[in-house]
């Protein structure tokens, strides 16, 4: 007799995104009634091909949440001063409650200097240093992908206090913020990356493994602990066997090998991606609230599901 295959909990990002939207619907309704409809303006310089899929996802998200959404496109040859002026105009526009600078920018534009120009109270992507610093304290408009990773971990039901967490990837916008947020939940956190020697020794002791590298198949079946929770932030396009030229999306985790060993895992697509968009919408709502509604004098909790 063959043992039945293990069935891990699939951390369904679309379901989590829906529950976030439902949870915040009363806030959106209240803001609209008060004449403060949350309004997200995306500024792109030129129209990078790769960015358009994310923009489509944002637009669908904004429609579902009932938020105002607009993409403004500057000429691809705009200088840094022109982009800075456009950001300042959005900062000054009281009807605009959220600003997102679409990446990548054309070469020669200083990404960080421009992100620093965004009013931190409208920085709904959480890329201004003040909001990155908010990750030390778990408050403010925090980076959306890091928030999504933490929310999916919480969805698994794992107890984070004292848990061994390993984050693979040390980018400013995912690896580092997610590490800080999980330290804020009193996990023991290790951050690995391309300079780490002995990656597998680290990943094998992880109760919770977050992978954000952008390298398909990086995490193999023998690199995870039995019963772990795995969050796969990677989104990579690889050739599909459905036909020449066809592509499919995969994460950084070899899903077929890893899934049978673990307690819970995010699919790609349908895991971190939709929750990231939902967190962007949620940040846009938080930014628009400014003054809390009269019936709720407190800050919203960071994760609301």
Q: Are 149 and 166 in contact (CB under 8 A)?
A: no
Cα–Cα distance for residue pair 55/57, rounded to 1 Å: 5
Closest contact distance (angstroms) between CB of 135 and a copy of itself is 8
Site for a copy of itself in 141-170 (CB under 8 A): 161-162, 170
SS3 163: coil
Q: Binding residues for a copy of itself, how many (CB under 8 A)?
A: 35
Q: Which stretch binds a copy of itself (CB under 8 A): 53-61, 83-91, 172-180, 239-247?
A: 172-180
291 contacts a copy of itself (rule: CB under 8 A): no
**Per-state percent for the chain, helix, strand, coil, to nearest 5:** 40, 15, 45
Closest contact distance (angstroms) between CB of 49 and a copy of itself is 28
Distances (CA, A) of 111 to 107, 169, 170, 172, 245: 10, 20, 18, 13, 33
By rule CB under 8 A, what string of x and - marks binding of each residue 193-232 to a copy of itself?
x-xxx----x------------------------------
SS3 27: helix
Q: Between 189 and 277, whose beta carbon lies closer to a copy of itself?
A: 189
Site for a copy of itself in 87-116 (CB under 8 A): 112
Pairing of strands 236-239, 247-250: antiparallel
Residues of this chain that interact with a copy of itself (CB under 8 A) are 112, 120, 128-137, 140, 161-162, 170, 172, 175-177, 179-180, 183, 186-193, 195-197, 202
């Amino acid at each position: 007799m063959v043992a039945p295959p293990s069935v891990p909990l699939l951390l369904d990002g679309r379901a989590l995104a829906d529950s976030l939207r439902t949870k915040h619907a009363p806030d959106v309704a209240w803001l609209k009634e008060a004449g403060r409809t949350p309004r997200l303006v995306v500024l792109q310089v030129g129209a990078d091909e790769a960015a358009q899929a994310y923009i489509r996802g944002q637009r669908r998200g904004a429609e579902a949440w009932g938020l105002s959404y607009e993409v403004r496109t500057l000429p691809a040859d705009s200088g840094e001063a022109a982009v800075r002026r456009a950001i300042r105009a959005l900062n000054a526009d009281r009807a605009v409650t959220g600003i997102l600078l679409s990446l990548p920018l054309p070469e020669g534009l200083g990404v960080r200097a421009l992100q620093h120009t965004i009013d931190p109270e409208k920085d709904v992507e959480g890329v201004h240093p003040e909001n990155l610093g908010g990750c030390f304290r778990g408050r403010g408009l925090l980076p959306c992908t890091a928030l999504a990773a933490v929310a999916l971990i919480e969805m698994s039901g794992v107890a984070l206090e004292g848990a061994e967490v390993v984050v693979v990837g040390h980018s400013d916008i995912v690896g580092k913020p997610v590490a800080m947020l999980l330290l804020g939940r009193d996990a023991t956190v290790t951050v690995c990356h391309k300079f780490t020697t002995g990656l597998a020794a680290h990943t094998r002791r992880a109760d919770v493994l977050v992978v954000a590298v952008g390298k398909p198949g990086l995490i193999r079946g023998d690199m995870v602990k039995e019963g772990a929770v795995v969050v796969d932030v990677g989104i990579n396009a690889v050739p599909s066997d459905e036909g020449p030229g066809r592509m499919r999306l995969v994460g950084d985790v070899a899903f077929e090998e890893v899934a049978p060993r673990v307690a819970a895992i995010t699919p790609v697509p349908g895991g971190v991606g939709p929750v990231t968009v939902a967190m962007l919408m949620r940040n846009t709502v938080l930014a628009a609230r400014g003054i809390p509604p009269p019936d709720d004098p407190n800050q919203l909790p960071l994760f609301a599901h």
